[in-house]
Every structure is written in structure tokens, then in C-alpha cells.
């Protein structure tokens, strides 16, 4: 039975890719390291320090101490937060807003499961500071996706079993985290194109159909053996 939905934040509820790109690019330029949007795409769903390691793959200078790495990550985050500060409730799309409201109206609990330590700031910029029933983020976990910790914590905060929760993700590592935690997973964006979910959606609002499918008798929703349900992927 579906009782709750746990949403990843970046790339699912809102789009922060460009801000991440601009902030990492400025830091990389300062350090003289090549960085582009293709590398930026690899940072989706990856924690801040693990992202820094990916950015530094092209670094050829003298070895960097842990302290220096922390200061580079802090430099990136400072610029990133100054860009996030430009966000407002207008950056929340009507589609996301109305879909969240419709899911809640069905009696579902709604939570956030994000690797970002900036989750509270982003939610407050979007006007969603008090909206979710639970928030699990980069501030309460020690292991990043694809480890399931962030989603398991969200389910615990909600008081629901993972098997009764649906995870919504845009990153393949996040979809893997959901599956490893025993959750069903609906994907949008990159993860959907990669077919990483049990449902691979072409729109956020298609979540309403996913939620409805849980109300149907099992025979009507049974997946053919070995084939993941994939009703929303474009042909």
C-alpha cells in the first residue's frame, strides 16, 4: 500500500543544476582546472565532497591537503548559496505545486530525501519551508546515495515502512539508493531516460497516475515477469 512519497530535491522539486555549474566552474577556474557541463552532469545526486573529488580529477597541481579541499568546497558553497538566494516561490513550477497538493489530497504523506546540506535553505527560498511532513537531507546522514541512508531516515521520520513509500529521483545513484533501501522508485529526468526506476516518467505530474495505480487491484498492476513497469517512457 502506498502511504508516502519521498522526493529528492535538486532536479525533482526544483532545478539547481545551473547554479551548481556556475559555482563549481568559478572554483575550478580559480584553481586552473578544466570543468564543463558534461562533468557537472556527473555531480547529480553526489555529495559535495564527492563532487569535489570528481571536479579535481582534472587537477594536475601539487597535492591538496584535506584542509585545502574543505576550503575549496566552502568556496564553491558560498557562491552557490549566493545564487540560491535569488530563488523565490516563483521558481516552484505550477506543475510541481499542483501535483504535490493533489498527492497530499489523496492522503499521502510527503517527505524530502536529499543529499544536499542546503535543503532547508532551498525549501525556504521556494516557500516550502514548512510544507513537507519530514525532511531527511545531507545534514542527517553519514553515507551518500547510492547508500539508502537518506531515504531510510525519511521513512523513519515519517513512521512508515520503506515498502509503503515511493521514492522519486532524477539521478541514477538516487534510484539505486531507493531500490537498495527496499523502496519502489519513480524516476524523472536523467534517471528516467536511463530506465533506472520502476516507473520512468516523462513528467512530474505523471506521479498522479503512479499513485492511482497503487489503488488498483494487484492483477491490474502486475508487471510481466522480468519487465519493469515503464508506462510513461516515450516510445
Out of 5, 33, 39, 46, point to the residue binding ligand BG6 (CB under 6 A): 46
Closer residue to ligand BG6, CB minimum distance, 137 or 160? 137
Decide: is 190 part of the binding site for Mg ion (CB under 5 A): no
Rounded Cα–Cα distance for residues 188 and 99 (Å): 14
Q: Check residue 125 for interaction with ligand BG6 (CB under 6 A).
A: no
Q: Is 10 a catalytic residue?
A: yes
User: DSSP strand E in 102-175: where?
Assistant: 109-113, 134-136, 165-169
Distance CA 100, CA 77 (A): 29
Nearest to ligand BG6 of 115, 184 (CB atom)? 115
Q: Which is nearer to Mg ion, 10 or 176 (CB)?
A: 10
Q: Which does 48 bind (CB under 5 to 8 A by kind): Mg ion, ligand BG6, none?
A: ligand BG6
Among 6, 51, 72, 157, binds ligand BG6 (CB under 6 A): 51
Which three cell numbers, joined as nine digits, stand for 85?
538566494
Angstrom CA distances, 164 to 33, 71, 114, 167, stand at: 45, 41, 19, 10
How far is the C-alpha of 71 from the C-alpha of 52, rounded, in Å? 11
Check if the beta carbon of residue 158 is closer than 8 Å to that of residue 137: no
Q: How far is the CB of 90 from ligand BG6 (least distance, A)?
A: 21
**Which residues are catalytic, by number?**
8, 10
Amino acid at each position: 500500500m502506498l502511504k508516502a512519497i519521498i522526493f529528492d530535491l535538486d532536479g525533482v522539486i526544483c532545478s539547481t543544476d545551473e547554479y551548481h555549474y556556475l559555482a563549481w566552474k568559478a572554483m575550478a577556474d580559480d584553481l586552473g582546472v578544466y570543468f564543463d557541463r558534461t562533468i557537472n552532469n556527473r555531480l547529480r545526486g553526489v555529495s559535495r565532497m564527492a563532487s569535489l573529488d570528481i571536479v579535481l580529477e582534472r587537477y594536475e597541481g601539487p597535492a591538496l591537503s584535506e584542509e585545502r579541499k574543505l576550503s575549496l568546497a566552502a568556496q564553491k558553497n558560498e557562491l552557490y548559496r549566493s545564487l540560491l538566494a535569488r530563488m523565490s516561490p516563483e521558481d516552484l513550477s505550477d506543475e510541481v505545486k499542483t501535483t504535490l497538493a493533489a498527492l497530499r489530497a489523496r492522503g499521502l504523506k510527503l517527505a524530502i530525501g536529499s543529499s544536499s546540506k542546503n535543503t532547508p535553505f532551498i525549501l525556504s527560498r521556494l516557500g516550502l519551508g514548512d510544507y513537507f511532513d519530514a525532511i531527511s537531507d545531507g545534514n542527517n546522514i553519514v553515507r551518500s546515495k547510492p547508500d539508502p541512508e537518506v531515504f531510510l531516515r525519511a521513512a523513519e521520520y515519517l513512521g512508515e515502512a520503506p515498502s509503503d513509500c515511493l521514492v522519486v529521483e532524477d539521478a541514477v545513484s538516487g534510484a539505486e539508493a531507493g531500490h537498495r533501501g527496499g523502496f519502489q522508485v519513480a524516476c524523472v529526468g536523467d534517471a528516467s531516460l536511463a530506465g533506472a526506476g520502476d516507473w520512468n516518467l516523462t513528467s512530474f505530474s505523471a506521479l498522479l497516475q503512479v499513485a492511482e495505480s497503487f489503488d488498483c487491484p494487484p492483477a491490474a498492476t502486475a508487471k510481466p515477469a522480468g519487465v519493469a513497469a515503464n508506462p510513461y517512457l516515450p516510445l
